[in-house]
């Protein structure tokens, strides 16, 4: 089977490139040599059954999980080089998780500005200005003084997105950003992601929001059993998948949504 990742039409040097990523958890071989090259301003969507390695792969891209083997280069920086300042490098990679991971004792603005002050070393006044602008981008300018407990799940997730974009990352990683939300709150988070996409943000998204993938993705990867089985534009993956495993997965999704 040809490698669908390396055939992707990336003309310039990719802003994010992973090669041969393997990850073992003891005897469990979760990632089995995954490759990915992402062009600037591209939105890559990763789908697949539970346990296929999607979230582990995403976490390896910013070294929240240490790959067992392989390489990850972001914006020209080798993340796995021992000489790399990982905290500095991570400012280039924003990440939004399934759980919001907000500090309950800090306001929305406090959560957004914490990394700006502690990691990026911005003065409080400067951090607050950047933080308010980030909250405005996600539609929460009027919630800066609210604590997480005073916000809905969708609003908390948008604060988490504001926290990530405040550091002006080159790439955003989203790990199931809507799966913990009530259905009526999902739309507000997807709207923010669409706006980020339209502003030119490079994004890698793991999600079950197939409608969003069809409408917004440049490329969709289907993962199963620690491998990328198939990759291509949404029209191919959802409309004419080439691999039997992809066809079975898409067929199952379509049956459940009908």
Task: Say yes or no to pLDDT of 93 above 60.
Answer: yes
- Tens of pLDDT, residue by residue over 161-207, are 999 999 999 999 999 999 988 888 899 999 999 999 999 999 999 99
Backbone angles phi, psi at 245, to 5 degrees: -65, -35
pLDDT at 120 over 70: yes
Residue 7 has pLDDT above 90, yes or no: no
Average pLDDT, the chain: 91
Residue 9 has pLDDT above 60, yes or no: no
CB 9 within 8 A of CB 42: no
pTM: 0.91
CA dist list (Å): 123 to 24, 45, 126, 168, 230: 41, 36, 5, 16, 46
Question: How many Cβ atoms are within 10 Å of 252's Cβ, its own excluded?
Answer: 11
Q: What radius of gyration do the chain's Cα atoms show?
A: 18
pLDDT at 183: 86
What's the confidence (pLDDT) of residue 11?
A: 52
**Tokens 């490329």 belong to which residue?**
219
- Give the 3-state DSSP-derived string for the chain, with helices as H, strands as E and coil as C: CCCCCCCCCCCCCCCEEEEEEEEEECCEEEEEEEEEEECCCCEEEEECCCCCCHHHHHHHHCCCCCCCEEEEEECCEECCCCCCCHHHHHCCEEEECCCCCCCCCCCHHHHHHHHHHHCCCCCHHHHHHHHHHHHHHCCCHHHCCCCHHHCCHHHHHHHHHHHHHCCCCCEEEEECCCCCCCHHHHHHHHHHHHHHHHCCCEEEEECCCHHHHHHHCCEEEEEECCEEEEEECHHHHHHCCCCHHHHHHHHHHHHHHC
- Lowest-pLDDT range of 33-47, 48-62, 145-159, 178-192: 178-192
Do residues 93 and 171 lie in contact, with contact meaning Cβ atoms separated by under 8 Å?
yes
């Amino acid at each position: 089977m040809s490698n669908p990742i390396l055939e992707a039409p990336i003309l310039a040097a990719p802003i994010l490139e992973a090669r041969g990523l393997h990850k073992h958890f003891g005897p469990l071989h979760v990632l089995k040599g995954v490759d990915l090259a992402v062009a600037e301003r591209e939105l890559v969507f990763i789908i697949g059954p539970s346990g296929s390695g999607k979230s582990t792969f995403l976490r390896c891209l910013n070294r929240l999980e240490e790959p067992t083997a392989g390489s990850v280069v972001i914006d020209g920086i080798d993340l796995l080089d021992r000489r790399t300042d990982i905290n500095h490098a991570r400012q280039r990679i924003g990440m939004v998780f399934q759980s919001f991971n907000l500090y309950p004792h800090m306001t929305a603005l406090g959560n957004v500005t914490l990394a700006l002050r502690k990691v990026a070393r911005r003065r409080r006044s400067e951090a607050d200005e950047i933080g308010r602008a980030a909250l405005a981008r996600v539609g929460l300018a009027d919630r800066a003084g609210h604590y997480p407990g005073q916000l809905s799940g969708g609003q908390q997730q948008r604060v988490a997105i504001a926290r990530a974009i405040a550091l002006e990352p080159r790439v955003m990683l989203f790990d199931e950003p809507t799966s913990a939300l009530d259905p009526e709150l999902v739309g507000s988070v997807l709207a923010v992601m669409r706006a980020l996409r339209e502003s030119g943000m490079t994004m890698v998204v793991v999600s079950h929001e197939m409608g969003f993938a069809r409408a917004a993705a440049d490329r969709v990867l289907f993962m199963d059993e620690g491998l990328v089985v198939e990759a291509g534009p949404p029209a191919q993956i959802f409309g004419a998948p080439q691999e039997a495993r992809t066809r079975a997965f898409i067929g199952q999704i379509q049956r459940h949504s009908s």
